[in-house]
Amino acid sequence: MSADIDIDVLVCGLGPAGASAAAMAAKAGANVLAVERNARPGLPVQCAEFVPMMIGSELFAGDDARVQNIDRMLTFVEDDRADLTPDFRGYMIDRARFDADLVEQARLAGGECRFASPVRTVSPDGAVQLADGTTIRARIVIGADGPHSPVGKAAGLANRELVETRQITVDLLSPHAGTDIFLHPDIVGGYAWLFPKGKVCNLGLGVVAARKQKLKPLLDALHARLVAEGRVGQKIHAHTGGAIPVGGNTGLHAILGETGILLAGDAAGLTNPVTGAGINAAVISGRLAGETAAAIVAGDGEAAQDYVDEIDALFGRSLALALKRRRQLLDLYAQAGTPTAQQMRGGWIAYSQYWQDDDTPAARGLEEARMTA
């Protein structure tokens, strides 16, 4: 197939992963074109906008994207009083501004960023067709095109497990510096959240895709409860939602024809399967994918494998543990009906049981429940 555009690196998707990839590939000297389906960076926002602080982490985007600091987590298990996790730090961001800042960084580095340019198909020989009929050939295609990644599907590396979400933004009636997490057996394969953003907050939840129809009644009930408690306002300012990959790393590298494929961020399944947090992983993997693409273009035959190894070193253990905890809880639903409060605590990052090895009372409890089911 002849191409309308020949380029070193084509980045599909300009969320945090794609913008970071485009910036790094361009900085390293590659010719970079990035294409995004949406008309504007970061919009519509499909995010609860909390960035947990990682060791040695920075905010990645400009300071103007930071809305407020978070210093603790409160976990509400069913109707129990909240369990406090002090010193659980991070930032609430303005996600639209965060993404726009990253796109600006990509442009400043020399990457061409085109909006309102959806990828329509990715051919088995690696050529990419846009919806306007343009055909693009690239040495490397970076799939940073989110949970339903067309690039990942073409490469045989699609996300297989997704959580569906629903979120509203409402007034927050008194200042709060914690992330509130709500665990309940009705919220199957997920949890509900209240994340404060100054005078408003994001209130939402995620569940296994098969329970998608429960999202609205569950969110309405949580909203009504928090209104009755005097914590949030009745008026809904915004609605959003979207899919979150929860099946772990899809595989990061493939070859289609003569085109190398690298996946990053949600397209690569790097979102944490328990918390759903994926912004940090998107930026970090995007940056590495961009550097890797430029290195391959410059003739480094080992770069793709180095990328795979580095992502595994960075995220492999936490993804594997989260996957295990998620499956342990889902097994309970499959076999026994519903998990107990203690079992739900064992599946959430705020509790020591979550971090312990398999041979622990919590794990044995899960095991016993499984055996008596």
Ligand X SMILES: Cc1cc2nc3c(=O)[nH]c(=O)nc-3n(C[C@H](O)[C@H](O)[C@H](O)COP(=O)(O)OP(=O)(O)OC[C@H]3O[C@@H](n4cnc5c(N)ncnc54)[C@H](O)[C@@H]3O)c2cc1C
The yes or no reply on residue 266 touching ligand X (CB under 6 A) is yes
Choose which of 101, 145, 180, 291 interacts with ligand X (CB under 6 A). Answer: 145
Least separation in angstroms between residue 214's CB and ligand X is 16
If the CB atoms of residues 195 and 351 are measured against ligand X, the closer one turns out to be: 195
Our finding on whether 101 is near ligand X (CB under 6 A) is no
Asked if residue 122 binds ligand X (CB under 6 A), the reply is no
User: How many residues bind ligand X, per CB under 6 A?
Assistant: 39
For position 347 contacting ligand X by CB under 6 A, the verdict is no
Closer to ligand X by Cβ: residue 289 or 321: 289
Stretch that binds ligand X, among 77-85, 236-244, 342-350, 363-371 (CB under 6 A): 236-244
Cβ-based nearer residue to ligand X, 155 or 282: 282
Specify the residue, 244 or 303, whose C-beta has the smaller distance to ligand X: 244
Q: Which of 8, 15, 254, 296 binds ligand X (CB under 6 A)?
A: 15
Q: How far is the CB of 240 from ligand X (least distance, A)?
A: 6
Candidate list 31, 73, 94, 150; residue touching ligand X; CB under 6 A: 150
User: In the set 11, 28, 33, 50, which binds ligand X (CB under 6 A)?
Assistant: 50
Encoded one letter per residue, x for contact with ligand X by CB under 6 A and - for no contact, window 316-335 reads: --------------------
Q: Which is nearer to ligand X, 95 or 231 (CB)?
A: 95
To 5 degrees, how large is the angle CA 75–CA 196–CA 176?
A: 75
Q: Which listed range, 81-89, 274-282, 331-339, 343-351, lies at the site for ligand X (CB under 6 A)?
A: 274-282
Question: For the purposes of burial, counting CB atoms within 10 Å of the CB of 304, is it exposed (0-12), middle (13-18) or buried (19 or more)?
Answer: buried
**Least Å from the CB of residue 256 to ligand X:** 16
Residue 111 touching ligand X (CB under 6 A): no
**Burial degree of 153 (CB within 10 A; 0-12, 13-18, 19+):** middle
Which residues sit at the interface with ligand X, rule CB under 6 A? 12-18, 35-38, 46-51, 118-119, 144-146, 150, 165, 167, 204, 240-242, 244, 265-267, 271, 276-279, 282
